[in-house]
Amino acid sequence: MNFSKTQWNLISFIAGILLTLSFAPFNYAYLTLISLVFLFLSWHYSETPKQAAFRGFLYGLGLFGFGVTWVFVSIYFYGGANIYVALFMALVFATFWALFPALTAYISVKIAFLTDKRLLFGIIPFVWIFIEYYRGFWFLNGFPWFQVAYSQLDSAYAGFVPIIGVYGTGFLILMTVSIISYMLMRQRYLITNTVIIFILLTTGYGLKYIEWTYPIGLPIKITLIQGNISQDQKWLPENFTKTLFSYQQMTANNWSSDVIIWPETAIPAYLHTVEAPFLIPLAEKARANNTDLIVSLAAKSEDGLETYNTVLTLGTQRGMYKKNHLLPFGEYLPLQPFSGWVLKTIGVTLGNFTAGGENQPLLTAGRYPFATSICYEDAFASEVLPTLPEASYLVNVTNDAWFGNSFEPYQHMQIARMRALESGRYLARSTNTGLTGFVAPNGKIIKQAPLFEPHTLTHKVTPMGGLTPYARMGDEIILAALFLLMLVLSLYAKFQLLKPQKTK
């Protein structure tokens, strides 16, 4: 393709924006392939690994700069920062995460230059997925936004998710992109590669109709409460009584349900301050109506030194879950003491919570145990898989009010849907301002409440048993298999390159 260096740089940036459009709320899934093809070609036409890294950085800047504009909304409208500080921090945030596509580009092109540049398209998918895993799970507690598989929840690729999860499915998507890029560049093996893509897509489409899990009981009637309490009003003392009364009224109208779920920190107070005057009477009403109530609020440790973000079950039995996978810079401060000093200097105040720990006992509501996740935790399959197969459905409570009317609530719901598809369980998701909804085991939204409206949503959820293939294996086995595949292909490619060429 006859583009100049400057044009390829611009194409890389625009391609990053296109990838954003493949995710919610836009959902143009086909743009994932188009965006990545242009990116891969820009790396192919790079003269050095550093030039490829720069184009990867521009791609990431377009992706994160446009896709996470909700960072500015959160910092400016709800974090207390002035507009210049908010813009600066949002830019720093996008710039930082843009380094990961840059790193992917540098490593991929560097390896290709050290071996054979013709192998570049075969190298990229492996490097991409390993770096995506590092970014999404390990680094700073993980930031899995814009992993390519999430954009394909409604495409044929979704059929692979219950088998090989986000990273395995992402690898297949990237391999498809590599094949298309190779065909555009080399004009070779067109029929063979087209057949491979056709088989891949038809297989994925067929897999979508397989039910990997099965009902283990009668459906339970669940009601989700969306209180729609604005974040800037939620913690004001003068609104405390009004907030509790609102949730009480919405709950009282739904005592016929087996389970009623309130959103994250729906009760704007610490547990010990509302235990006697509010929670004990509420639990008695729940028991009288044979209903299990799931509420959320902050709790202090016995010595008062630690704070937890919790979910509490009230009714037939009481239990507590303490959030374990905390949000960096939102619920705890990594990179201390530097990060704390920076935020204090610019006048931004954030939470300081303690992780609840792994292997917490499952909570039970509606006679069945369920897997609990609080807000950001639903972005991690690793938080759900250890609860299976015991957990018969999933519950997520969230407060996306921090991000106002931005892309974030839609992106977050898209990520939450993946957990239902991976586990083969129904998901009941209660949020403060939206998007509250029910998700089926196939990842499809059954019901969804509108944004920024007080709303109750009721649906009968079937408790499920069994395990999907992915739930049996987990990410580690899949990533290990990809690593072994990479080694085998690398040895084969090296053998082919060293093999003497036949002469006529």
Task: Say if residue 25 is preceded by a cis peptide, omega within 30 of 0.
Answer: yes
Please give the span between the terminal C-alpha atoms of the chain, in angstroms, as a whole number.
Answer: 33
Which among 10, 112, 20, 125 is positioned nearest to 64, based on CA atoms? 20
Where does residue 2 rank: exposed (0-12), middle (13-18), buried (19+ CB within 10 A)?
A: exposed
- Known catalytic membership, residue 264: yes
Dihedral, CA of residue 220, residue 274, residue 310 and residue 251, to nearest 10:
20
CA geometry: angle 114, 117, 123, nearest 5 deg: 85
- Known catalytic membership, residue 444: no
Q: Which of 208, 375, 377, 422 is catalytic?
A: 375
Compute the Cα dihedral for 483, 484, 488, 494 and give only its sign: positive
Distance of CA 123 to the CA centre of its chain: 26
Q: Which of 323, 331, 377, 383 is catalytic?
A: 323
CA geometry: angle 254, 258, 263, nearest 5 deg: 65
Under 8 Å between Cβ of 99 and 56? no
Under 8 Å between Cβ of 453 and 226? yes
Q: Which of 132, 208, 264, 322 is catalytic?
A: 264
- Known catalytic membership, residue 323: yes
Please give the positions annotated as active site. 264, 323, 375
